[in-house]
Amino acid sequence: MAGKTGAATTRARANGTRAAATKEQTTFTEHTPHGRLTAQRGLYAGPSPVVSKDLYAEVREGVVTRKRGSLSLEPSARVSGNTYFGRFPASYWQRWTTVREVQVELVATGAGLIAVRASDYEGEPRTVAAQELQGASKQAVTFTAKLDKFLDGGALWLDLETEAGQQLTVEQVRWTVAPPEQVRPTAVTICTMNRADDCLQNLQALAGDISSLDTLDAIYVADQGTDRVDSRDGFAQVEKDLGGKLHYITQPNLGGAGGFTRGLYEVAGHTETEHANVLFMDDDVLLEPDLVVRMTAFSNLAANPIIVGGQMLNLLHPHQLHVGAEYARLNTLEPGMPVEHSLSTANLLGVDEETGKPNRQERRVDAGYNGWWSCLIPYEVVRETGYPMPFFFQWDDAEYSYRARAHGFPTVTLPGAGVWHADFHWKDWDEWHRYFNLRNSIITAALHSEFNLTVLCRVLMAQLVRYLLGMQYGLTHTLIKAVEDFLEGPEILRDGGVAAMKEIREIRARYPETKRYDPTEVPGIASNDIGIINSPGRPALQRVVLVKRIIDRLRGRNRFGLGAIPTDEASWWHVALFDTAVVTDASQEGVRVRKYDRDRMLDLGKRGIRVLNRLRKEGRGVQEQYKRAMPELTSRENWKRLYEL
């Protein structure tokens, strides 16, 4: 591949810490294209047996053999590529790129019908091109489809069909586009922290497909843990398989923000072109390597530099799409809001209950930001926008996208570019990371919203009351600490969040309900004494019930002494009826014991009111401090200091 001056695994010590000191590095330069650019491949089985092949191709009739790179139809069979991974997102290509036609190239053997079909923004199908084959033997077949009727929505896909007595095999299916004059070099950056096996598995997935990842120049692994990836038996082999593309870096734990930013830092320091890409990727995802092909091709042909986001599918339910595109309500601290018309927690193998049509992202939607489970950032964005905020983690992705948008770089979430990530709703909210979620959301609101302090304080007060009624005293303290540290101003970010992480963990350790127990080994409570007491449901008059629950709590009155509560019924109006509630953890791996403590409730309530009054009075001045400090906080020099280089 052009532009190489050599690459090597980087392992070094600097100032007594794990840090990077490069011996040889990839120098990023643009490549001269050789032939058409592959925009996506026709794949018909996933990277793991846990993934349904129906996400790649749906058998409508007959016997069909689906392999990773080929489809074989027996007589009287029909198969459709109108699936999550089978569709070419024509609407997005027409809107955001300079491409106006795409070619479908394949190799066919046998007899049957091959058709290119399309949908519109309402999901209505039409046939774009079709060809009948007879007696084909490794015959090259090419279709051309114009990208001219998809502006509001729609996609392209392949359908195959055989009649009685016919057999048909297709392979080497490629969706290709005319290449740009120069192809951008791309570096994948994986941030990892004590998930060595997961990270190694994804490196192996990339290595297994490396021959198809033409635009991928380098892979940076920023290892911030003590259980290191290079300690695994398979590391040396995957390093060899990646052919010198791997750069393994150890560094202090600076959270996801510090791990991902390291890739931006390294590429910016070794690029000879402004037209380079950095593709962030989580360490614990199940990777579809074609994501690299799809996202990098899209970026290469974009009319203007844009952030390209990949979609998240739920790992525990691999047929579910987390969200088609999302945005954040900044002033009310609400991330992950589904954009209008986007799919949300959608069964990709099912149908829409209202229309009866398959769950497909037909309408093109604009994203506010994209999670960093997979997100491609062009170097031009870094040059104009700066580096991410040293948030440690949580809201770093949203803050960066909204800042980039203010500089003229929108975020596009690309359908069909997906990875499987642990389902969010199986993660309990009452954890130490809630501190970073709250603190960083307030900072982001201060930087990129109207920052209406009346609304913000009302939102935080509502959370405070719910946590106290739900006997989540550690979570209440977490909220208070987050607001207090926001009011400390930008100095709280000077160490990248290391001290805050340690402190919030120490604070939360003082609260018994933050600990998780085996359901049969709850301290001080006999297992047989814990019976489920279900919630009657959401009250019709919530404000009236809220006042009643507050009065009862202040008087120390409760309806139930002890009971178990399922996680989906652990709302404040129900938990507030108990003296002791054994609540199922959202992970379903154990329980939390919440016990009424009037003194703690009153103390935390008073502290919460005081800090929210401070926020209302001091917030505007603190907002200006963060705005003034942002250029320095997001500078290359600040990150160099944090990396101890």
Could you read off the pLDDT of 490-519 as tens digits, one per residue?
999 999 999 999 999 999 999 999 999 999
Q: What CA–CA distance (Å, rounded) separates 260 from 86? A: 30
Which one of 397, 428, 430, 585 is the catalytic residue? 397
Per-residue pLDDT tens over the stretch 21-73: 344 678 888 999 989 999 999 999 999 999 999 999 999 999 999 999 999 99
Tally Cβ neighbours within 10 Å of residue 243.
12
Q: What is the average pLDDT score of the chain?
A: 93
Tens of pLDDT, residues 213-260 = 888 999 999 999 999 999 999 999 999 999 889 999 999 999 999 999
DSSP letter at 588 equals: S
Which two structure tokens, joined as six digits, stand for 283?
Answer: 């360490």
The predicted structure's pLDDT at residue 541: 92
- Give the model's pLDDT for residue 382: 95
pLDDT given at position 425: 84
C-alpha torsion angle, residues 135, 137, 138, 144 (rounded to 10): -20
Chain segment 346-401, per-residue pLDDT in tens: 999 999 888 888 999 999 999 999 999 999 999 999 999 999 999 999 999 999 99
Residue-wise pLDDT tens digits, 435-460: 999 999 999 999 999 999 999 999 99
Q: Is the pLDDT of residue 531 over 70?
A: yes
Query: Can 152 be counted among the known catalytic residues?
Result: no
CB-based burial label for 79 (10 Å; 0-12, 13-18, 19+): buried
Q: What are phi and psi of 309, to 5 degrees?
A: -105, 145
Tell me: pLDDT of 520 over 80.
yes
Query: Residue 5: its pLDDT value, please?
Result: 34
Of 19-23, 319-323, 632-636, the one with minimum mean pLDDT is 19-23
149, with CB counted inside 10 A (0-12, 13-18, 19+), is middle
On the question of pLDDT at 89 being above 90, the answer is: yes
Model pLDDT, residue 561: 94
Helix axes 433-448, 473-487, angle to 10 degrees: 40
In 354-473, where do the E strands start and end? 374-378, 411-421
The label of the residue with tokens 């600097």 reads: 14
Residues of the chain with pLDDT > 90, as a percent, come to 89
Give the model confidence (pLDDT) of 108-161 as tens digits: 999 999 999 999 999 999 999 999 999 999 999 999 999 999 999 999 999 999
pLDDT of residue 19 exceeding 50, the answer is: no
> Is the entire prediction scored with pTM above 0.85?
yes
CA 225 from centre of chain: 21
| pLDDT score of 186 more than 90 | yes
Q: In a 10 Å sphere around its CB, with 0-12 CB exposed, 13-18 middle and 19+ buried, how is residue 360 labelled?
A: buried
| Residue count of the chain | 645
Question: What percentage of the chain carries pLDDT values higher than 70?
Answer: 96
* pLDDT surpassing 50 at residue 206: yes
Q: Nearest Cα to 42, choosing from 105, 114, 100?
A: 105
Per-residue confidence (pLDDT) for residue 9, from 0 to 100: 40
DSSP code of residue 283: T
> What is the pLDDT, as a whole number, of residue 427?
84
The pLDDT score that the predictor gives to residue 626 is 98
**For 396-428, what is each residue's pLDDT tens digit?**
999 999 999 999 999 999 999 999 998 888 888
pLDDT on residue 399: 98
Q: Average the pLDDT over each of 79-83, 295-299, 328-332, 553-557 and give the range with the smallest value.
A: 553-557
Which residue type is seen at 373? W
Residue 486 has pLDDT above 80, yes or no: yes
Residues 6+ apart with CB under 8 A from 75: 62, 162, 163, 164, 165, 166, 167
Give the pLDDT of residue 24.
63
**pLDDT of amino acid 388:** 97
